[in-house]
């Protein structure tokens, strides 16, 4: 018997029923949703790969922790458990819990960025950039060029380009750079990791100029798995040890616990600086909740504390990333263009390559996501021009070099058979790609438009020509 190298290190304890739908029902549902997968009702979705955020299955231990929630308004025991887990595994001194990751981004941006500041980072993320812009800052992309090339096989495509960073420091001066936003892994580049070597060099450069580094640690453990697999000197090392080293090059992090930490809700800001922690605590009480609960139920802090411990298990991470690889290998094997190498949390279809007959103004990734849903009930997400929005100065559409459809894999939720169905549908669609129709806006929100935008096919009312 062939050994399935990524077999799950758990068995199923509770199941959630799925509703099967017909193609006719899905055609109706996507039209009602304005051809935007965000606006579909989850009961009309068969396999939900919209996001890996908050969609994971918790373990029986986490559920036991849910029953141990101490819902006291102040000084909940669960806060102290979470604080000690963050200190132990991430190594930061101060923990400020928030209701989810964007709560932490909001507080970090408001505390650190002044109007006219520049915030360099290894590629933008949608909500993060909006928070930076609202605080008066301007995001500057300093990721290596390879990140923008879907075909490049660079092992650490998330790396910061030190020359780009130095050039920025020289151009605007370090006093206009409150911090560097370091993503590990880089979501918008296809879940691509940074190397330890790169993190170390970035830290040396930033410390020389007195610039702080805050990591988006949402998927940092996945990043550490790639370091272990790919970087010389890290083979066989414990993920927890690698994580502590990675964090040691930074001054703090924002965390959406809904990814690596295996919970459905929760996040935090963790920093080393006493003064920043004090400022953040004063702010969290206005926006989120008292600093010992940050807008979370006690039980959710407990589940996150336990999830952190589970997340650094090698067996867990091996199965997690193994499953993503399994899906990606099947799709790539049939010649479907995907972002290479395969990332940590999802498969990113290269929509420009997939649908060369659609011009960018027809939002090929949006069209592909809609067609995939109609074909099989698989819900994916557009990560291209629609997500990138418009330039705040010129008002023009931003066309990032990557126009992607993200198939994001929730943790511990779907089986190999679910992955097979997904692969079959993508491959089928690729064979009929010429009949996929482009999209146009019928409603375009001003901020974070991808969430609530509505579209219509360029011609007719179907996602595919018959």
Partner 1 sequence: MKTIIEPFRIKSVEPIRMTTRERREAVLREAGFNLFLIRADDVIIDLLTDSGTGAMSSEQWAGILRGDESYAGASSFYRFQERLQEVTGFEHILPTHQGRASERILFELVGGAGKVIPNNAHFDTTRANIEHSGAVAVDLPIAEAADPAFLHPFKGNLDVAALERLIAEVGRDRIPLVMVTVTNNSGGGQPVSLGNLRAVRAICDRHRLPLFLDACRFAENAYFIKLREPGQSGRSVREIVREMFGLADGATISAKKDGLVNIGGLLLLRDMQLLYRASNLLILTEGFITYGGLAGRDLEAMAQGFEEVLHEDYLAYRLRSVEYVGEGLMKAGIPIVQPPGGHAIYIDAAALCPHIPREQFPGQAVVCGLYRIGGVRAVEIGSAMFGNRSPPGLELVRLAIPRRVYTQSHMDYVVEVCAALAAKRAELRGLRMVQEPPVLRHFTARFEEL
Pairing of strands 404-408, 346-350: antiparallel
CB of 232 to partner 1, least distance (A): 38
Q: Which is nearer to partner 1, 35 or 226 (CB)?
A: 35
Pairing of strands 378-379, 47-48: parallel
275 interacts with partner 1 by CB under 8 A: no
43 interacts with partner 1 by CB under 8 A: yes
42 interacts with partner 1 by CB under 8 A: yes
Q: Which is nearer to partner 1, 2 or 41 (CB)?
A: 41
Binds partner 1 by CB under 8 A, chosen from 31, 39, 421, 427: 39
Binding segment toward partner 1, per CB under 8 A, in 51-59, 154-162, 186-194, 398-406: 51-59
Binding to partner 1, residues 2-31 (CB under 8 A): 14, 16
Concatenating the DSSP letter of every residue in 50-88 gives S-SSS-PPPPHHHHHHHHT----SSS-HHHHHHHHHHHH
85 interacts with partner 1 by CB under 8 A: no
d(CA 84, CA 77): 11
Pairing of strands 118-121, 138-141: parallel
Q: Which is nearer to partner 1, 158 or 294 (CB)?
A: 294
d(CA 429, CA 347): 16
User: Binding residues for partner 1, how many (CB under 8 A)?
Assistant: 63
Binding segment toward partner 1, per CB under 8 A, in 5-13, 52-60, 149-157, 164-172: 52-60
Concatenating the DSSP letter of every residue in 5-33 gives TT--SS------------HHHHHHHHHHT
Binds partner 1 by CB under 8 A, chosen from 1, 15, 74, 393: 74
- SS3 state at 335: coil
Residues with active-site annotation? 73, 125-126, 216, 259, 383, 450
User: What six digits make up the tokens of 235?
Assistant: 């083979």
- SS3 state at 108: helix
**In the chain, helix, strand, coil percent, each to 5?**
45, 15, 40
295 interacts with partner 1 by CB under 8 A: yes
Binds partner 1 by CB under 8 A, chosen from 48, 83, 161, 403: 48
Binding segment toward partner 1, per CB under 8 A, in 281-289, 313-321, 336-344, 428-436: 281-289
Binds partner 1 by CB under 8 A, chosen from 116, 356, 445, 460: 445
Torsion of CA 64, 67, 70, 76, to 10 degrees: 20
Q: Which is nearer to partner 1, 298 or 384 (CB)?
A: 298
What is the DSSP-derived secondary structure letter of residue 248?
H
216 interacts with partner 1 by CB under 8 A: no
Q: What are phi and psi of 420, to 5 degrees?
A: -65, -45
Binding segment toward partner 1, per CB under 8 A, in 76-84, 206-214, 221-229, 316-324: 76-84
Task: Tally the C-alpha atoms within 13 A of residue 58's C-alpha that lie toward its C-beta.
Answer: 22
Give the bridge partners for 397, in sequence order. 390
- SS3 state at 224: helix
- The helix or strand, by DSSP H or E, that contains position 342, with its residue range, turns out to be none
Contact yes or no for 180/165 (Cβ under 8 A): yes
Binds partner 1 by CB under 8 A, chosen from 6, 10, 80, 441: 80
Binding to partner 1, residues 113-132 (CB under 8 A): 127, 130-131
Binds partner 1 by CB under 8 A, chosen from 26, 35, 55, 259: 55
104 interacts with partner 1 by CB under 8 A: no
69 interacts with partner 1 by CB under 8 A: yes
State the residues that interact with partner 1 by CB under 8 A: 14, 16, 37-45, 48, 50-51, 53-56, 66-67, 69-77, 80, 99-100, 102-103, 106, 127, 130-131, 134, 264-265, 281-282, 285-291, 293, 295-300, 445-448, 451-452
């Amino acid at each position: 018997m062939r050994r399935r190298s990524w077999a799950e290190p758990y068995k199923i304890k509770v199941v959630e029923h799925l509703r099967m739908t017909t193609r006719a029902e899905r055609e109706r549902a996507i039209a009602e949703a304005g051809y935007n997968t965000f606006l579909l009702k989850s009961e009309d979705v068969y396999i939900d790969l919209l996001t890996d955020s908050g969609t994971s299955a918790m373990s029986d231990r986490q559920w036991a922790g849910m029953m141990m929630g101490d819902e006291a308004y102040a000084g909940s025991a669960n806060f102290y458990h979470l604080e000690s887990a963050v200190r132990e595994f991430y190594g930061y001194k101060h923990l400020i819990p928030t209701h989810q990751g964007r709560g932490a981004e909001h507080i970090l941006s408001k505390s650190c960025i002044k109007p006219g500041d520049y915030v360099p980072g290894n590629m933008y993320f949608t909500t993060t950039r909006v928070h930076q812009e609202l605080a008066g800052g301007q995001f500057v992309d300093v990721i290596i060029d390879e990140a923008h090339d879907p075909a490049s096989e660079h092992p650490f495509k998330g790396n910061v380009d030190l020359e780009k960073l130095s050039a920025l420091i020289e151009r605007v001066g370090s006093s206009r750079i409150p911090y560097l936003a370091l993503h590990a892994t880089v979501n918008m580049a296809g879940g691509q990791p940074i190397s330890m070597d790169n993190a170390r060099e970035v830290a040396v450069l930033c410390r020389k100029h007195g610039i702080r580094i805050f990591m988006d640690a949402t998927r940092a453990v996945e990043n550490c798995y790639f370091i272990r697999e790919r970087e010389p000197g890290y083979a066989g090392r414990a993920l927890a040890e690698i994580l502590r080293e990675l964090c040691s090059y930074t001054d703090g992090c924002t965390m959406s616990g809904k990814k690596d930490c295996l919970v459905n809700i929760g996040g935090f800001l963790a920093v080393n600086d006493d003064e920043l922690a004090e400022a953040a605590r004063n702010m969290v009480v206005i926006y989120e909740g008292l600093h010992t609960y940050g807008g979370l139920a006690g039980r959710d802090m407990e589940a996150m504390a336990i999830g952190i411990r589970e997340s650094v298990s090698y067996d867990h991470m091996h199965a997690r990333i193994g499953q993503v690889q399994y899906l990606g290998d099947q799709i790539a094997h049939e010649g479907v263009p995907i972002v290479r190498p395969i990332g940590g949390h999802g498969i990113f279809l290269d929509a420009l390559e997939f649908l060369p007959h659609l011009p960018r103004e027809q939002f090929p990734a949006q069209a592909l996501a809609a067609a995939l849903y109609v074909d099989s009930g698989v819900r994916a997400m557009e990560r291209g021009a629609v997500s990138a929005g418009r330039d705040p100065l010129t008002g023009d559409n931003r066309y990032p070099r990557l126009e992607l459809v993200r198939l994001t894999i929730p943790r511990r939720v779907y089986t190999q058979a679910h992955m097979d169905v997904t692969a079959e549908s993508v491959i089928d669609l690729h064979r009929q790609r010429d009949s996929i129709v482009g999209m146009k806006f019928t409603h375009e929100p001003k901020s974070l438009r991808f969430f609530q935008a509505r579209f219509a096919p360029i011609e007719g009312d179907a996602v595919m020509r018959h």
